[in-house]
Amino acid sequence: MAALLVEFTDAAFSYGDGAVAVEADLRVAAGGFVGLVGPSGAGKTTLLRALLGQLHPFRGEVRVAGQVVNGRCPRRVGYVPQLETVDWHFPITVAECVLLGRVSESGLLPWPRKRDRADLMALLERLGIAALAGRHIRALSGGQQQRVFLARALIRRPDLLLLDEPTSGVDVRTRQEILGLLRELNDDGIGVVLTTHDLNSVAALLPELVCVNRRVIAQGPPAEVFTSDVLRATFGSEMVVFDHDGLLLTADAPAHGPAHPHHAHLHHGSAHPDDALAREAR
């Protein structure tokens, strides 16, 4: 069995109001590429915060690369926050922002070391934003902004990359770019755990999904996890799943009644509706 990168062992979290925010018992293998999906308030971000050491379980434990997470973020973990939470008017350039990722290991002097600067430029080159190093973070496209915060996480040389809603609020092309980039990083051996509401993209591009709604509902490859039963238990509403030549697609079931194969249609002619809806019956 591959070494474990992330372990939630019978862990339960609360925000101090007595109510359990989320319970989790799940494992991610080293080099895994996992999407946490679930409705708003399901506890996806809470699980990320636990991995960052911002939230302690009141029961059970959380480990990253075998080390118990105890109040401090493990050293080789990079985090990309939701872009909606960023103060885009803050006076900071791309280079200044990315170098913050080295804050705890770059010495006392306020300016970057030669090595930090070299790493910064190499990283920006790789992400295709080297020419933007002196620009303000607001003066970038959505995809470039996402790359800046990805660079800030990567400059820590992480074994595990955590991303909170990386595909939220971006257009289709940017979403594909971001997920493709994460795929490349994962191929290089970096474990990736991200949260998302974007079921179709993660079903197409991620090898493993975890459905969460205050507890882990299911974990596994999209083909195993995306069933009507699991999605109903996760999102609390009826959803249909299409299999379009091996590509899984989900959609809300019609609001006026339970999902029925005859209520759903594929408008692309390449797949027969009966084939497409075969998975929905699972």
Question: Of the listed pieces 7-15, 48-56, 58-66, 123-131, which binds another protein according to CB under 8 A?
Answer: 48-56
Nearest distance from C-beta of residue 89 to another protein, angstroms: 5
106 is a site residue for another protein (CB under 8 A) = yes
Tokens 């509706």 appear where?
Answer: 273
104 is a site residue for another protein (CB under 8 A) = yes
138 is a site residue for another protein (CB under 8 A) = yes
Nearest distance from C-beta of residue 148 to another protein, angstroms: 12
205 is a site residue for another protein (CB under 8 A) = no
Question: Of the listed pieces 1-9, 31-39, 131-139, 246-254, which binds another protein according to CB under 8 A?
Answer: 131-139
**Contact predicate 74/64, CB 8 Å:** yes
110 is a site residue for another protein (CB under 8 A) = yes
Nearest distance from C-beta of residue 73 to another protein, angstroms: 4
- Rule CB under 8 A: choose which of 25, 61, 96, 238 binds another protein: 96
Question: Of the listed pieces 56-64, 130-138, 200-208, 221-229, which binds another protein according to CB under 8 A?
Answer: 130-138
31 is a site residue for another protein (CB under 8 A) = no
108 is a site residue for another protein (CB under 8 A) = yes
18 is a site residue for another protein (CB under 8 A) = no
For the stretch 80-85, contacts whose Cβ atoms lie closer than 8 Å and that sit 24 or more positions apart, written own/partner, are 80/146, 80/149, 80/150, 80/152, 80/153, 80/161, 80/162, 80/163, 80/164, 80/166, 81/149, 81/164, 82/164, 82/165, 82/168, 83/142, 83/145, 83/146, 83/149, 83/168, 83/169, 84/165, 84/168, 84/169
Dist. CA 22–CA 84, nearest whole Å: 23
Phi then psi dihedrals of residue 267, to 5 deg? -90, -15
Q: What are the Cα distances from residue 203, in Å, to 28, 158, 241, 249? A: 17, 25, 11, 7
Is 144 or 250 the residue whose CB approaches another protein more closely?
Answer: 144
168 is a site residue for another protein (CB under 8 A) = no
Is 97 or 206 the residue whose CB approaches another protein more closely?
Answer: 97
Give the contacts of 170 (CB within 8 A, at least 6 positions apart).
142, 143, 146, 178
Q: What is the largest CA-CA distance in the chain?
A: 67
Site of interaction with another protein (CB under 8 A): 52-54, 72-73, 75, 77, 79, 81, 85-93, 96-97, 99-101, 103-104, 106, 108, 110, 134, 136, 138-139, 156
